[in-house]
Amino acid sequence: MTGKSVRAVFPGSFDPITNGHLDVIERGIKLFDELIVAVGRSPVKNSLFTPEERVEMIAELTADMPGVSVESFDGLTVEYAAQKEANVILRGLRSLTDVHYEFKLAMTNRAVAGIETVFVMTSEQYGFTSSTLIREVATLGGNISNLVPKNVYDRLQKRLNKKK
C-alpha cells in the first residue's frame, strides 16, 4: 500500500529560534514526510539576526533530522507553500491567545489557498516563550540559556556584546 507523501511548511521569523520552536520541529517531522522550516523575511520587523544567519542556525540544529530542510522566503506563506507544493502549514500553539489568532489565520489560508493548517501544542516548559520575549530579556541582560539552543545562545551573546 502506498501512502500520500505529505510535505509541510513550518513558517516563522525564528529571530532567534527557541527551544519551543525546536520542540515543534522535532514533533512535526514525526507527522510528515518532509518539513520545510521557512524563515520569513519581514521588512517590518526589527530583526536581531539576518534571515541567512537564522537559516544557518536552524540548519545546524536540524542537520541530523532526516526530512527537515531550512530556507528563507519572502511574501505570503500560502504562496510560498504552494510554490513548494506543500500540503500543510505547521503551526505551534502556546496559549489561548495563539489559538484565537492562529484559528483566524488558518481559516483565511484555507479559504484563500485551500491549504490545511496542523497545530502542535508546544511542550509545557516552552508555553510562555517567544522570540520577542527572549530578545527583550537577553537585551536587558537576563539569562535565557535554558530557553534557546546552545549555538543560538552563543550567537545571541556575541551579537549583544557587539551592540554595547
Q: How many CB atoms lie within 10 A of CB 139?
A: 14
Report the C-alpha gap between 83 and 162 in whole angstroms: 38
- H/E element holding 15? none
**Which of these is catalytic: 13, 131, 135, 155?**
131
- Asked about 130 being catalytic, the answer comes back as no
**Which of these is catalytic: 21, 54, 135, 155?**
21
Asked if 134 and 144 count as a contact pair (C-beta separation under 8 A), the reply is: yes
- Asked about 162 being catalytic, the answer comes back as no
- Asked about 21 being catalytic, the answer comes back as yes
- Asked about 131 being catalytic, the answer comes back as yes
**Which of these is catalytic: 54, 91, 94, 135?**
94
**Which of these is catalytic: 45, 95, 100, 104?**
45
Asked if 74 and 41 count as a contact pair (C-beta separation under 8 A), the reply is: yes
Report the C-alpha gap between 51 and 70 in whole angstroms: 11
Report the C-alpha gap between 103 and 117 in whole angstroms: 9
Task: Enumerate the active-site residues.
Answer: 21, 45, 94, 131
